[in-house]
A = this chain, B = another copy of it.
């Protein structure tokens, strides 16, 4: 328990301590912090005060945590992350007077979350998006190719993924401008203009910690050493643009206009106690993907929508999807190991996303493409409005949390509002 009061339904008890990058107020320099209750502990301040003095991080703590990104801390690896976590849990404990009783330092070290501006937690060198939910792959395959050809033969052997665009990854609450692009209705003409099928994809993504060298694969036994922690992600997708462009080289302009992540990275160590039984892998994966400690994570996920009209009427967002990270077929370790097996270098701060996390039941389908079944069965909002895809002014709100014994461990929010497309000569 911490001397900082934490509400019982808070996402940020002392068991969590997720990392983020924030400005204490708009315009102030960004630095690293951890969330605790409704506060942020400014790590640059506590490091500067000499309170993070462990052997692995201590000497460079002040420098590392005053950066506007967590890359250098991520690169230090698992032992270093553990050292800092233990130090912070000690420092924040209700029985530790160091910070608790130092009014001057406390005033400088804590910033209310309500007053801070969150930034991207890392400089993302490369961003990869996998396709690891079998339920989602089956749904999408059925929509695009029919039930019999739904799952491509490679899917159960390869954690299928593609490279995305790191320049358009943004943190929660960043506006999402509707993309212009080419599309073509089946048997129809080619048209150009604002996408008519903007969708969300509920995903989670992990940040790479310690890097591997180019040419040197990561064995699955050591995969966790290279995974820093997880965020919730919305892979905004323009289905009409994607459908026309994606053969044969994969998704491009239908995806790379925006990807939103939640601001707080929940570490693998904090998530350790939420490991759970994974989905059965049948057929068995190839040896390099076989994991003696194969597991999933029990993380509840939720997507809500709020239209302009709902906002006007003062209505709360409507939940349209409840899913769980445990529905992934390929684990995060398998994603990482496959990515690096050919010698591809992973760098600290690289982002690897899960793909849309749909579960078996309709309520867990994690995109509008699935929920409205390619636009055939609209959702009805509390205002009576209908939605097949996202309209201008709609907000999509995502979050995730683990249910602990008397506490919750959460991810903060991953929200975005879709704004009208700009005019382009067409």
How far apart are A161's CB and chain B's nearest CB, in angstroms? 6
Q: Which of A247, A249, A251, A253 has the most CB of B within 10 A?
A: A249
Contacts of A281 in B (CB 8 A): none
Contacts of A125 in B (CB 8 A): 125, 166-167
Asked whether any CB of chain B lies closer than 8 Å to the CB of A45, the reply is no
Are the CB atoms of B342 and A241 closer together than 8 Å?
yes
Asked whether any CB of chain B lies closer than 8 Å to the CB of A373, the reply is no
Contacts of A248 in B (CB 8 A): 152, 160, 246-247, 250
Are the CB atoms of A238 and B160 closer together than 8 Å?
no
* Residue in chain B with minimal CB distance to A137: B248
Complex-state Cα separation, A162 to B256, whole angstroms: 10
Are the CB atoms of A253 and B344 closer together than 8 Å?
yes
Oligomeric state, in number of copies?
A: 2
Q: Residue-by-residue, is A333-363 near B (CB-CB < 8 Å gives 1, otherwise 0)?
A: 0000011011111110010000000000000
* Residue in chain B with minimal CB distance to A164: B163
How far apart are A226's CB and chain B's nearest CB, in angstroms? 13
Complex-state Cα separation, A175 to B182, whole angstroms: 40
Complex-state Cα separation, A402 to B218, whole angstroms: 43
Are the CB atoms of A162 and B338 closer together than 8 Å?
no
Q: Residue-by-residue, is A178-192 near B (CB-CB < 8 Å gives 1, otherwise 0)?
A: 011110100000101
Q: A286-B426, A287-B426, A288-B192 are in contact. Are A163 and B252 (CB under 8 A)?
A: yes
Are the CB atoms of B215 and A182 closer together than 8 Å?
no
Asked whether any CB of chain B lies closer than 8 Å to the CB of A424, the reply is yes
* Residue in chain B with minimal CB distance to A145: B248
Are the CB atoms of B126 and A165 closer together than 8 Å?
yes
Asked whether any CB of chain B lies closer than 8 Å to the CB of A154, the reply is yes
Q: A190-B286, A288-B424, A424-B217 are in contact. Are A162 and B344 (CB under 8 A)?
A: no
Complex-state Cα separation, A250 to B38, whole angstroms: 43
Are the CB atoms of B425 and A287 closer together than 8 Å?
yes
How far apart are A289's CB and chain B's nearest CB, in angstroms? 9
Are the CB atoms of B192 and A286 closer together than 8 Å?
yes
Q: A217-B422, A344-B165 are in contact. Are A157 and B177 (CB under 8 A)?
A: no
Within 8 A of B (CB), among A347-398: 347, 350
Contacts of A238 in B (CB 8 A): 342
Asked whether any CB of chain B lies closer than 8 Å to the CB of A115, the reply is no
Are the CB atoms of B250 and A250 closer together than 8 Å?
yes
Complex-state Cα separation, A65 to B238, whole angstroms: 41
Are the CB atoms of A162 and B249 closer together than 8 Å?
yes
Are the CB atoms of B214 and A177 closer together than 8 Å?
yes
Contacts of A245 in B (CB 8 A): 154, 158, 160
Asked whether any CB of chain B lies closer than 8 Å to the CB of A264, the reply is no
How far apart are A188's CB and chain B's nearest CB, in angstroms? 12
Asked whether any CB of chain B lies closer than 8 Å to the CB of A216, the reply is yes
Complex-state Cα separation, A333 to B328, whole angstroms: 41
Are the CB atoms of A250 and B249 closer together than 8 Å?
yes
Contacts of A421 in B (CB 8 A): 343
* Residue in chain B with minimal CB distance to A221: B425
Contacts of A258 in B (CB 8 A): 214, 343
Are the CB atoms of A215 and B287 closer together than 8 Å?
no
How far apart are A224's CB and chain B's nearest CB, in angstroms? 17
Our pick among B126, B241, B249, B426 for the contact of A167 (Cβ within 8 Å) is: B126
Complex-state Cα separation, A217 to B241, whole angstroms: 16
Asked whether any CB of chain B lies closer than 8 Å to the CB of A73, the reply is no
Are the CB atoms of A157 and B190 closer together than 8 Å?
yes
How far apart are A290's CB and chain B's nearest CB, in angstroms? 8
Contacts of A246 in B (CB 8 A): 248-250
Complex-state Cα separation, A173 to B304, whole angstroms: 52
Asked whether any CB of chain B lies closer than 8 Å to the CB of A278, the reply is no
Asked whether any CB of chain B lies closer than 8 Å to the CB of A168, the reply is yes
In the complex, 17 of the A-B residue pairs with CB atoms within 8 angstroms, ordered by the A residue number, are: A125-B166, A154-B245, A157-B190, A158-B182, A162-B162, A162-B249, A167-B214, A167-B345, A168-B345, A177-B215, A179-B341, A179-B342, A180-B342, A214-B258, A215-B257, A241-B342, A249-B251
